[in-house]
């Protein structure tokens, strides 16, 4: 990978340039993510299984017969994802883009209805929900995170 160096094939660590600020390294790999919120996400979305995330939040079983890539291609895709710091495949990014567009349309419709009916500011605040979800899904589509 250009611009991305791996120490060894069996290691998943990626070398980065050191910053001028001294940063205390965690003693273990999991110590960096040792907090209550991380524990909840580890229980909801455990890694290494035969499931994938679909539409941003739902889990779906992966059918072994639907996998068309070889183990070498999968390793190359993982290496590319590690170098670009993405963890969402192209299909999921497209789904999240569609969800973001749908939430954006819903936000516009809510805004039109609220303007037409003269909704007070307290009621117009509900528009923040589809707005933030739409922006989040579109951002996830763009960045792959």
73-104 per-position pLDDT tens digit? 878 877 877 777 777 778 888 999 999 999 99
* Rounded-to-integer distance, Cα 114 and Cα 52, Å: 38
Q: Which tens digit of pLDDT belongs to each residue from 9-43?
A: 444 444 444 445 555 555 555 555 677 887 887 77
The angle, 0 to 180 degrees and rounded to 10, between the axes of the packed helices 128-143 and 90-117 is: 160
Domain boundaries, the chain: 5-85, 92-143
* Rounded-to-integer distance, Cα 25 and Cα 91, Å: 35
Tokens of 93: 């990014």
Number of other residues whose CB lies within 10 A of the CB of residue 78:
12
* Reported pTM: 0.57
State the Rg of the chain over Cα: 20
């Amino acid at each position: 990978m250009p611009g991305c160096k791996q120490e060894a094939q069996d290691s998943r660590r990626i070398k980065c340039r050191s910053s001028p600020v001294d940063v205390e390294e965690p003693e273990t790999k999991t110590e960096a993510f040792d907090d209550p919120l991380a524990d909840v996400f580890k229980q909801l979305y455990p890694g290494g299984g035969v499931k994938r995330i679909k539409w941003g939040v739902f889990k779906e079983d992966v059918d072994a017969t639907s996998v068309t890539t070889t183990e070498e291609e999968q390793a190359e895709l993982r290496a590319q994802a590690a170098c670009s710091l993405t963890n969402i495949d192209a299909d999921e990014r497209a789904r999240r883009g569609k969800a973001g567009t749908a939430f954006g349309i819903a936000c516009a419709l809510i805004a039109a209805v609220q303007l037409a009916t003269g909704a007070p500011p307290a009621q117009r605040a509900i528009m923040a929900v589809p707005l933030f979800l739409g922006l989040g899904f579109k951002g996830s589509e763009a960045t792959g995170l």
